[in-house]
């Protein structure tokens, strides 16, 4: 695929996803208007919509053509967003800016920041459940696929997924436990990796992929998640702060253990390369579907400068 063709396709697909996400946001009305505004402010703060993109492309690659996927695209972005909203709170990372905008608690206050996060997490499930309204209610196979996709979402977002990683990360930062290679791997796999695995797995499950295909795509997503996170650590050392929109070198300043501090820059770069290769060659290509766009997307996401 030509770079130009890929870029144009990516732009179109991002717009398609943006439109779907917006169509599932709640109306800002009623006596609870403030929390609804804070929720929408958070979701509309931008971002690459990486998770819904991976979900939709996996779904289509596996032959999915229905609209049951749409509420899940919005739901995964709501969960990703709520995790950032709570992460930024004064009692957590105490961040006042994200992507060049004031964080939710900074604009709406700490109390509303907590409630907006709770609201988004809850609304993600409310939204994903709407897939049952879209589906053919007489087809138990489809109903079970939606039930399966909901379970993946809940498990990967929860205490055995993202929240588990967040807990381990916070205890590591507080110096309450030593940051070994295993601990760092656990944090990456759970805090960042879990939602990326959820995205691709939900796409595959909803499209009715075989168990073997689902297994391959899960491994693929695990590699992507890890490579993506290590690339983040690398960019914190060598990135251009104007492109990144955040301070470079913040990990070192905060004495934060990362893949780079543990293994060094060259080894980190080599690992990213190995993981991307494995994700595509060993897993994605063996799913047995047209993987051209997804392959390109994965390599672009990992080999990024911001």
In the complex with a second copy, the residue whose CB is nearer, 61 or 157, is 157
In the complex with a second copy, the residue whose CB is nearer, 31 or 65, is 31
Instruction: Check binding of 170 to a second copy (CB under 8 A).
Output: yes
Q: How far is the CB of 199 from a second copy (least distance, A)?
A: 17
Q: Residue from 11, 122, 247, 253 that binds a second copy (CB under 8 A)?
A: 122
Instruction: Check binding of 194 to a second copy (CB under 8 A).
Output: no
Q: Residue from 36, 50, 53, 194 that binds a second copy (CB under 8 A)?
A: 36
Instruction: Check binding of 96 to a second copy (CB under 8 A).
Output: no
Q: How far apart are CA 141 and CA 207, in angstroms?
A: 11
Q: How far apart are CA 88 and CA 103, in angstroms?
A: 7
Dmax (CA) for the chain in angstroms is: 58
Instruction: Check binding of 157 to a second copy (CB under 8 A).
Output: yes
How far lies 36's CA from each of 104, 126, 275, 286, in Å?
12, 14, 40, 44
Torsion sign across C-alpha atoms 276, 278, 283, 285: positive
Q: How far apart are CA 8 and CA 4, in angstroms?
A: 6
Instruction: Check binding of 1 to a second copy (CB under 8 A).
Output: no
**Look-up of token digits 């958070």:** 42
Site string for a second copy, 234-263 (x = CB under 8 A): ------------------------------
Q: Residue from 1, 159, 181, 238 that binds a second copy (CB under 8 A)?
A: 159
Helix and strand numbers (H, E) in the chain are 17, 2
Annotate 235-262 with three-state secondary structure: HHHHCCHHHHCCCCCHHHHCCCCCHHHH
Residues that bind a second copy (CB under 8 A): 26, 30-32, 34-36, 39, 82, 86, 89-92, 110-115, 117-119, 121-123, 125-126, 129, 132, 137-140, 143-144, 146-147, 150-151, 154-155, 157-160, 163-168, 170-171, 183, 186, 190
């Amino acid at each position: 695929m030509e770079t130009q063709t890929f870029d144009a396709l990516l732009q179109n697909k991002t717009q398609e996803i943006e439109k779907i996400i917006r169509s599932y946001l709640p109306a800002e009305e009623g006596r609870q208007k403030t929390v609804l505004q804070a929720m929408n402010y958070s979701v509309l703060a931008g971002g690459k919509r990486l998770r819904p993109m991976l979900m939709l492309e996996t779904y289509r690659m596996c032959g999915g053509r229905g609209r049951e996927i749409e509420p899940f695209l919005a739901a995964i972005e709501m969960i990703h967003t709520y995790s950032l909203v709570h992460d930024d709170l004064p009692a957590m990372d105490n961040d006042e800016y994200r992507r060049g905008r004031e964080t939710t608690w900074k604009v709406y206050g700490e109390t509303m920041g907590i409630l907006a996060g709770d609201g988004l997490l809850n609304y993600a499930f409310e939204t994903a459940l709407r897939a049952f309204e879209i589906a053919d209610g007489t087809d138990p196979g489809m109903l079970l696929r939606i039930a399966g996709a909901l379970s993946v979402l809940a498990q990967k977002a929860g205490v055995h997924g993202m929240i588990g990683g967040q807990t381990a990360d916070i205890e590591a930062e507080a110096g309450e436990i030593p940051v070994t290679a295993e601990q760092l791997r656990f944090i990456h796999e759970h805090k960042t990796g879990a939602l990326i695995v959820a995205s691709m797995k939900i796409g595959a499950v909803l499209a009715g992929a075989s168990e073997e295909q689902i297994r391959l795509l899960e491994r693929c997503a695990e590699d992507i998640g890890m490579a993506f996170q290590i690339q983040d650590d690398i960019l914190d050392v060598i990135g251009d702060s104007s492109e990144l929109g955040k301070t470079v070198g913040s990990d070192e300043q905060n004495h934060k253990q990362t893949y780079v501090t543990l293994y060094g820059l060259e080894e980190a770069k080599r690992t990213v390369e190995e993981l991307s290769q494995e994700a595509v060659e060993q897993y994605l290509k063996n799913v047995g579907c047209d993987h051209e766009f997804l392959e390109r997307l994965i390599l672009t996401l990992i080999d990024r400068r911001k």
